[in-house]
Amino acid sequence: MKTLQKQSIHSYNISKYAQQPVLTVPFEIERGETQRNVNSKVLKSLFGRLPHDARVLDLPCGKLLFLKYLKRLYPAARLAGADIIPQDARHDIEFFQMDLSREFEIPVYEKFDLITSISGIMMFGNTQKFIENCSERLEENGLLVITNDNSLTIMDRLRYMFLGRVRMFSPYYENDEAMTQNIHIPELIRLMRINGLNIDKIEYTSFYFRDLIFVPFALLIYPIQYLYLQRIKTRLPKAIRQQMYQFRHLLCRHYIITGSKI
């Protein structure tokens, strides 16, 4: 019965998932160590859609803020986090200190209903191995949610044209530089698909009022880009292509990809 319950929750396609109503989270959600509205949007999308005793892993977990919120939504959930920086132990959240660019130092029998990576993949290399490890640790029909900064906005394109850099990444990396991995959404989609993950939904968020200045540029560029993309032959499903390059991708600073293990 438990397996059937998980399948009813996780076995959806991209259109069904996108049509599900968003439930109201009964508390305020801080921005935390990511862009505006990212934590809020992910938590709202997960609220009411996981088993009450879901096994969840957050990578990297930072200061455990996302997991603390998830614990309030799912008090019976078994939560774990991992990060290269040690965190204060909590009795209700298991913590693993490890380098996420290498093999996961988690017991091999551990499987999870949900793995999240909130604004984390820009912090370490070897993304291909990371996605592979995440997929291997997911239960059948389990969810992988990855959020990342969007460096394809109009603002980033203009910065690159005039300054030779995108917003979040310095033109020079110090030896101890924190953010070094500028991973574009096409590569993340590819890595998830080749590692047995179905792309259920792609969302863009973190639009700032001050970015309204870029709307006229977006209105000019979007039709040209749209016509260009229609000419490209690809085996990627149309539903995924449309969500990858929707109008919002030119203005929103962050994206969220939800995938389920096939």
Q: What pLDDT shows up at residue 27?
A: 80
Q: What is the pTM of this model?
A: 0.90
The span from the CA of 85 to the CA of 109, in Å, is: 24
The span from the CA of 66 to the CA of 74, in Å, is: 12
pLDDT tens digits along 68-83: 999 999 999 999 999 9
The span from the CA of 43 to the CA of 26, in Å, is: 11
The CATH homologous superfamily of the domain defined by 2-261: Vaccinia Virus protein VP39 (3.40.50.150)
Q: What pLDDT shows up at residue 20?
A: 60
The SS3 of residue 115 is: strand
Of all helices (H) and strands (E), which one includes residue 258?
strand 254-261
pLDDT tens digits along 175-215: 999 899 999 999 999 999 999 999 999 999 999 999 999 99
Residue of 148, 147, 159, 171 whose CA lies nearest to 214: 159
Using pLDDT thresholds of 50, 70 and 90, give the confidence band for residue 131: very high
pLDDT tens digits along 29-73: 889 989 999 999 999 999 988 999 999 999 999 999 999 999 999
AA identity, residue 193: R
The span from the CA of 183 to the CA of 101, in Å, is: 14
Strand partners, 83: 97
